Structure 1
Amino acid sequence: MERVQALEIVKPHLTDHRYTHTIGVMETAIQLAKQEGIDQGKAELASIFHDYAKFRPKEEMRQLIKEQNLGDDFLNYGDELLHAPCGAYWVKHEVGISDEEVLSAIRFHTTGKPDMTTLEKVVFLADYIEPGRHFPGVEEVREVAVKDLNYACIMSLRNTMAFLMKKNQLVYPDTLAAYNHLITERKK
């Protein structure tokens, strides 16, 4: 699927602000994919559709997760995570994208997971560091990302978990597992 067509499909599902974010994620993902020597087209496609379900009704997403066994554990960790597994499902069934690597990068772009592929890391990190993001720590992660994708993922996971803990919110188990996996790999 060409970029223009993909953007035309996704745009009606997003607010103007989220569409601008999506463009930033896409551009960042392409840059990271090039840097890491992976398929830029897959990074582009996954990043364009990463927030496809962001503004679907929460109850519709909860129902889909239950009916399609998309991971009931998502239901226990806040509504902000629901759009990732639901988005991957709807991108497959509504848009017709069947590339499992692309769908997996969409599914795990919010939480990460242990043993992420490079494509999954690229989309996860691009969502975190795209130029429209402004929060404490993001500049440092951007600087590291151009040198060390894995360490940038560690930093973003650590920052995310610290943010959630400060707010007394639950941390999704795969987020901690992704962090632990990357730290373990780094020590080898």
Structure 2
Amino acid sequence: MPEDLRATVEHLKAELKPKRFAHTMGVARCAAVLAQRYGVDPAKARLAAFLHDCAKDNTAELARLYGLRVEDSPEPIRHAPVGAAHAKWAYGITDREVLQAISLHTVCGSNMTALDKIIYLADKIEPGRSYAGMEEIRQAMARSLNEGMLSCIDHTAAYLTKTGQRMHPATIAAREEIQNQQKRG
């Protein structure tokens, strides 16, 4: 592991709760494997994965610090845009692809890159997670990144419907975009 990445990981270890840090390590391992499989720079994937939840344990405080208004967003997704800002200002990350992958890892978005999709999926399927449908998502992901995305989004939609919640408009747009890409071949 490069020295600058090692310093980032040590900073995260001090900043995150132990359970969150363990999750982050699982996401980073998963992202590195997916990056290799899908031709994405593994170093970028690992960096984005390490930092994807860097604001999760103190989202409100960091949002205030960076002047971000996230109150209108549902609680589970607020940390993503705040995390991108925190990665930039506290960790010195300037790579726009890495910052975008952090920002989109909860609700997706239009024009997602392969890196964005890898971080989104790695967060959902890392070995520490267990939920109904995960094996289907992993099988779809083995066929293609887009099939993995559609399977994951569809399972998320089913869960949200079951719990009386709605899917975020950005996730709906991402699903439609990926479906259109699939149709075009």
TM beyond 0.5: yes
State the distance in 1 between where 2:78 and 2:62 align: 6
Matched residues in 1 for 2:179 and 2:59: separation? 36
CA distances 1:125-160 after superposition (whole Å, capped 9, x unpaired) = 100111111000011111222221111001111111
Cα distance per residue 1:1-31 (max 9 Å; x no partner) = 6432221011122111111111110011000
Q: Unpaired segments of 5 or more residues in structure 2? A: none
Q: Bigger shift: 170-179 or 84-93?
A: 170-179
Match of 2:15 in 1: 13
> 1:62–1:2: structure 2 CA closer, same or farther, 3 Å change rule?
closer
The question of whether the paired residues in 1 share the 8 Å contact of 2:54 and 2:87 is answered with yes
**For 1:45-75, what per-residue CA distance to the aligned partner results, in whole angstroms no more than 9, with x for missing partners?**
00000000001053x355467x34xxx5x53
Which structure 1 residue ranges, 4+ long, deviate > 4 Å from structure 2?
A: none
Q: Percent identity?
A: 37
**Alignment partner for residue 157 of structure 1, among 153, 156, 161?**
153
- Distance, in Å, in 2 between the alignment partners of 1:57 and 1:186 is 36
CA gap of 1:40–1:170, structure 2 versus 1, over 3 A, is same
1:168 to 156, 164, 183: 164
Q: What is residue 116 of structure 2 aligned with on the other side?
A: 120
TM-score (norm 1): 0.90
Task: Provide, for residues 81-108 of structure 1, a one-character-per-residue CA deviation record: whole Å limited to 9, x for no partner.
Answer: 1110000001101110110000000000
Cα-Cα RMSD = 1.6
- Closer, same or farther in 2 for the Cα pair 1:92/1:78, shift >3 Å? same
1:116 and 1:178 in contact (8 A); partners too: yes
Q: Residues 155 and 163 (structure 1 numbering): CA distance in 2 closer, same or farther, change over 3 Å?
A: same
Instruction: Name the counterpart of 2:31.
Output: 29
Distance 2:71 2:175 in 1: 21
TM superposition score normalised by structure 2? 0.92
**2:103 corresponds to:** 107
Q: Is the 8 A contact 1:88 1:107 kept in 2?
A: yes
Contact 2:88 2:94 in 1 (8 A): yes
| Contact 1:49 1:106 (C-alpha < 8 Å) held by counterparts | yes
Q: How many residues are paired up?
A: 182
Question: Aligned residue for 2:40?
Answer: 38
Choose the corresponding residue for 1:181, options 166, 170, 177.
177
Matches of 2:95 and 2:80 in 1, distance apart? 16
Indicate yes or no: 2:5 matched with 1:3: yes
Deviation at 1:167, TM superposition (A): 1.2
Which residue is equivalent to 1:83?
79
